[in-house]
Chain A
Amino acid sequence: MRFLPALLAFMATAWFWSFLPAISAGETRSWAWAWLPDQGVELALRIDGLSLLFALLITGIGTLIFLYTAAYFRNDDRLPRLLTLLMLFGISMLGLVLADDAISLFVFWEGTTVTSFLLVGFDHNRRYARASALQALIITGLGGLALLAGLIILGQFAGTYRLSEMVLMGDAIRASEIYIAATIFVLLGCFTKSAQFPFHFWLPGAMAAPTPVSAYLHSATMVKAGVYLLMRMSPALGGTEIWMWSLTICGAITMIVGSVWAMKQDDLKLMLAHTTLMGLGALVMLLGSGTKEAAKAAVLFLLVHALYKAALFLSVGILDKQAGSRMVDDLGGLRGAMPLSFAIAALAALSMAGFPPFIGFIGKEVIYESALHSAASPLLVTGSALAANIMMVACAGLVAIKPYFGERRAQKNPGDPVFGLWFGPAVLAALGLWFGLFPAALGHDLLEPALGAVTGKAAEVKLYLWHGVNLPFLLSLLTFAAGIGLFLVIGAVRRALQAARVPGAEDGYDLGLAGIDRLSAWVTRSLQGGRMTVYLKLSFAVFAGVIWMAILMSNTELSRPDFRVPLFQFGVVVLILVSTVVVTFTPSRLIAICALGGVGSGIAMLFVMYGAIDVAMTQLLVEILVVVFFAIALLQLPRTPISLGFRPFDMALSVALGLGVIVTLWAVLGTELNLYLTEYFEKYSAPKALGRNIVNVILVDFRALDTLGEVSVVLIAAIAAVAVMRAGREARK
């Protein structure tokens, strides 16, 4: 069972491989299913050269990683959960690179974010893992929202959500006024996902995940999603100054920061995580250059990096498993005990350092060549590529030489691992050598169609191991010399870097989070302080605000009120008004109850006058009962204080509310009344319900269920009231 995911991934790899001849001949394949037809959203998939390259990386490396995971967690009952999450991630990632519909792409993009969150927090009983998972989720999740905004802007402008159609409209998009906004949002999405400066700090934190997860998500696949989208959108958004400089500068900074911080690490896995930053930075920087050469270098380096980085992560996992540590100072002289592991690490590291005849060498040559002709700034691009590569050589030495040479050091008795653990990294490392020796087929079959998708036109990729003695080659020689020199003093460099306390972008993230915590604490304290009058004031204020907003936003004209009223009716009105004022201000409970009764019976009189006899009767009965109940309850409640206190705010709020109600109600009365239901009831009361009192017929016949509900409410209120009193009695006992 535990090898099932690996098998499935292998079958998927084979399936994608079968597309290779057609795709490399320049064809594409696409499928589409309606998803939300009303919204114009489809589940559209499309395989072109770029998608195929990524799909092969995802499924191919996925096969090896799943195999490795099954061996790594062999005796761990969390294995099914881990494999399930990894599979879910793999599916999301595949969907992401295959999606041709922007909304589908976003859904899969978020799928990778969520599965990454779950995988980083896999050791959920460790506080650090949880914090790292949350950090990755917040950063990439916010980036995802920005990306959605960017994609929607683009989709609305282009009139289509098909990426393949958007990229054909590049000139129109670049000339339009939405270009800047769309680009910024898409870049935010890509930069957060691919951990570009200043969002780079979540990636090292994500190393809290188990090693196979880090190898798969955080080096070979997920973090490349941003790079993938940059490549995909290059024909639509690329080629402008803002695109060129933001990619070049952010990429270069990420590359340098990643390389320098890599040398600072004691933990080999963390060091690899930082070199991943270097790789991602290099890719983004190359994509910024805008030349075809640079795009070619990016596509090639993507593959190179995925191969060696996954292999190295897995080999650090082997060290961790077999030698009991991945701290650089805890390991040494393991070459004899673990010859196979050493061979794998050495092959992968040689590719990383860019030595011939590995594919890494070709990758580096091509990078130098394109950097020298960068459209942005050849000096900046070449300089930072050179500096980063020198540090890569030193880091490669650190991971492949330090643990295996010198005095023997290990935390437990080391030895080569089981097949499942060494097979994956061995294949990856061997591929690095194979592609280096035979680069032509790779270039033609796999990279050429991918490059075509990135540049938007047909391209040719001819790769050679030997380029002749030219400037890139000389730069390579310089890289080796300086890199080896740096490796010899790496211990001192590391200690020096560790001694220096440099503030990072992470401090900003921490400050931001702490600020949000404080803000929400303050909001909660001020809105929900436990004072009931505050709650009431807030509720009334919102009520008044809503009413006044409706009044001010509408343009209803109010008619002039008519005060010509018979004296008798006027007397009733005055009775109600005076009683209300008395209730409000009297300190005496007896007078207050009487005045309440006055209000109620006055209203009952109004009902009688205006043809509502039944209502008036009910009102009168209820009013009597209310007065009785009030009297009973007040016997056990304390006296009211003499003064209400002068509360200008409450007074203003009440008056605002009352005025709002008056204006609204008056405006409602000015509109035409819809008498449809009334006429219906008048017409059918006698013939159908055989009743001559229309109000009664409505209550007991037409709307009998309503009345039943009303009776139930009163009953429930009565039961609840009794229960409350009972509870009071028992509490006193």
Chain B
Amino acid sequence: MDFLFVLIVGLLVTSGAYLMMSGHLVRFLYGLALFSNAANLAIFVSGGLSYGAPALIAEGEKAPLEPVANALPQALVLTAIVIGFGLTVFALALAKRAFASEGTALMDDMRSAEPRAED
């Protein structure tokens, strides 16, 4: 199963990068969302996978009795998901605003910050 996780991460990265380079604002946002999913999954899988064993301690015990899932990457992924969410929402707001003021969703035509040289 490990390898299938890795495969998913790879495909998410490939699609994400391809969408971000498309030059259209909306597709760029899709790409960004895929990228953040890829990152989360990559962190999760690199902590090792263990099927169906949540990192819980039974009542009255001091430590898990049987081997459980690696808790550390889970904690990191939780943080990453929330941060990625914040980033996506901000990017959405920025995109909306950029489209409103630039009048185009084509990223290469957004030239207010770096105006086209005389050509």
| Chain A residues at the B interface, C-beta cutoff of 8 Å | 525, 528-533, 536-537, 540, 561-563, 565, 569-570, 573, 576-577, 580-581, 583-584, 589, 592, 596, 599-600, 603, 606-607, 609-615, 618-619, 622, 625-626, 629-630, 633-634, 636-638, 640-641, 644-645, 647, 650-651, 653-655, 657-659, 661-662, 665-666, 668-669, 673, 675, 677-678, 681-683, 685-687, 692-695, 698-699, 703, 706-707, 710, 713-714, 716-718, 720-722, 724-725, 727-728, 731-732
A606 partner residues in chain B, CB cutoff 8 A:
5, 41
State how many angstroms separate the Cβ of A733 from the closest Cβ of chain B. Answer: 12
Question: Scoring B residues 99 to 119 as 1 if CB is less than 8 Å from chain A, else 0, what string do you get?
Answer: 111000101101101111100
A466 to B14, CA, bound (A): 90
Q: A695-B75, A714-B82 are in contact. List 4 more A-B contacts (CB 8 A).
A: A573-B4, A584-B19, A611-B54, A692-B57
Selected from B17, B37, B77, B85, the residue in CB contact (under 8 A) with A612 is B77
For A636, the closest partner residue in chain B by CB is B96
A731 partner residues in chain B, CB cutoff 8 A:
100-101
* B33, A611: Cβ atoms closer than 8 Å: no
Residues of A contacting B: mostly:
helix
* B37, A618: Cβ atoms closer than 8 Å: no
* B61, A533: Cβ atoms closer than 8 Å: no
B84 partner residues in chain A, CB cutoff 8 A:
622
* B45, A725: Cβ atoms closer than 8 Å: no
B96 partner residues in chain A, CB cutoff 8 A:
633, 636-637, 724-725, 728
For B27, the closest partner residue in chain A by CB is A640
B56 partner residues in chain A, CB cutoff 8 A:
692-694
A353 to B78, CA, bound (A): 87
* A724, B4: Cβ atoms closer than 8 Å: no
Selected from A576, A609, A645, A683, the residue in CB contact (under 8 A) with B51 is A609
A717 partner residues in chain B, CB cutoff 8 A:
86-87, 89-90
Within 8 A of A (CB), among B50-92: 50-59, 61-64, 68-72, 74-75, 77-79, 81-90, 92
* B78, A611: Cβ atoms closer than 8 Å: no
A681 to B55, CA, bound (A): 10
A569 to B3, CA, bound (A): 13
State how many angstroms separate the Cβ of A515 from the closest Cβ of chain B. Answer: 21
State how many angstroms separate the Cβ of B23 from the closest Cβ of chain A. Answer: 5
* B29, A630: Cβ atoms closer than 8 Å: yes
* A669, B27: Cβ atoms closer than 8 Å: no
A576 partner residues in chain B, CB cutoff 8 A:
8
**14 A-B pairs whose Cβ atoms sit less than 8 Å apart in the complex:** A569-B4, A583-B15, A609-B52, A611-B68, A647-B18, A658-B14, A673-B48, A681-B71, A683-B63, A694-B64, A710-B83, A720-B90, A724-B94, A731-B101
Selected from B42, B82, B110, the residue in CB contact (under 8 A) with A618 is B82
For A649, the closest partner residue in chain B by CB is B21
Instruction: State whether A612 and B19 are in contact (beta carbons under 8 Å apart), knowing that A531-B108, A599-B37, A713-B86 are contacts in the complex.
Output: no
A600 to B12, CA, bound (A): 11
A687 to B64, CA, bound (A): 12
Instruction: State whether A654 and B14 are in contact (beta carbons under 8 Å apart), knowing that A540-B21, A633-B92 are contacts in the complex.
Output: yes
* B74, A619: Cβ atoms closer than 8 Å: no
B77 partner residues in chain A, CB cutoff 8 A:
612, 615
* B105, A637: Cβ atoms closer than 8 Å: yes
For B92, the closest partner residue in chain A by CB is A633
A657 partner residues in chain B, CB cutoff 8 A:
13-14, 17
* B12, A580: Cβ atoms closer than 8 Å: yes
* A561, B3: Cβ atoms closer than 8 Å: yes
State the total of A-B contacts with C-beta under 8 angstroms.
297
A589 partner residues in chain B, CB cutoff 8 A:
26
> 6 closest A-B pairs (Cβ-Cβ)?
A658-B14, A611-B69, A530-B114, A561-B3, A717-B86, A662-B10
B26 partner residues in chain A, CB cutoff 8 A:
589, 592, 634, 637-638, 640
* A622, B82: Cβ atoms closer than 8 Å: yes
Question: Scoring B residues 26 to 48 as 1 if CB is less than 8 Å from chain A, else 0, what string do you get?
Answer: 11011001100110111011111
* B100, A611: Cβ atoms closer than 8 Å: no
Instruction: State whether A615 and B71 are in contact (beta carbons under 8 Å apart), knowing that A530-B111, A540-B21, A634-B26 are contacts in the complex.
Output: no
A657 to B12, CA, bound (A): 11
State how many angstroms separate the Cβ of A692 from the closest Cβ of chain B. Answer: 4
* A725, B13: Cβ atoms closer than 8 Å: no
State how many angstroms separate the Cβ of B113 from the closest Cβ of chain A. Answer: 8
A561 to B6, CA, bound (A): 10
B18 partner residues in chain A, CB cutoff 8 A:
584, 644, 647, 650-651, 654
For B112, the closest partner residue in chain A by CB is A530
Kindly name the residue among B12, B29, B70, B115 whose own CB sees the greatest number of chain A CB atoms within 10 A. B70
For B100, the closest partner residue in chain A by CB is A728
A692 to B48, CA, bound (A): 21
A716 partner residues in chain B, CB cutoff 8 A:
86
State how many angstroms separate the Cβ of B61 from the closest Cβ of chain A. Answer: 7
State how many angstroms separate the Cβ of B59 from the closest Cβ of chain A. Answer: 7
B24 partner residues in chain A, CB cutoff 8 A:
640-641
B7 partner residues in chain A, CB cutoff 8 A:
573, 577, 662
* B92, A584: Cβ atoms closer than 8 Å: no
State how many angstroms separate the Cβ of B15 from the closest Cβ of chain A. Answer: 4
Instruction: State whether A661 and B44 are in contact (beta carbons under 8 Å apart), knowing that A626-B33, A650-B18 are contacts in the complex.
Output: no
B25 partner residues in chain A, CB cutoff 8 A:
637
For A532, the closest partner residue in chain B by CB is B107
* A728, B97: Cβ atoms closer than 8 Å: yes
State how many angstroms separate the Cβ of B45 from the closest Cβ of chain A. Answer: 7
For B12, the closest partner residue in chain A by CB is A580
* B61, A686: Cβ atoms closer than 8 Å: yes
* A615, B19: Cβ atoms closer than 8 Å: no
A666 to B19, CA, bound (A): 24
B58 partner residues in chain A, CB cutoff 8 A:
692
B99 partner residues in chain A, CB cutoff 8 A:
636-638
A537 to B12, CA, bound (A): 17
A673 partner residues in chain B, CB cutoff 8 A:
47-48, 70
For B33, the closest partner residue in chain A by CB is A596
A334 to B11, CA, bound (A): 90
* A633, B100: Cβ atoms closer than 8 Å: no
A725 to B97, CA, bound (A): 6
A675 partner residues in chain B, CB cutoff 8 A:
70
A611 to B64, CA, bound (A): 13
Selected from A565, A580, A668, A713, the residue in CB contact (under 8 A) with B83 is A713
State how many angstroms separate the Cβ of B1 from the closest Cβ of chain A. Answer: 5
A669 to B81, CA, bound (A): 22
B108 partner residues in chain A, CB cutoff 8 A:
531-533
State how many angstroms separate the Cβ of B55 from the closest Cβ of chain A. Answer: 4
A625 to B86, CA, bound (A): 11
* A662, B4: Cβ atoms closer than 8 Å: no
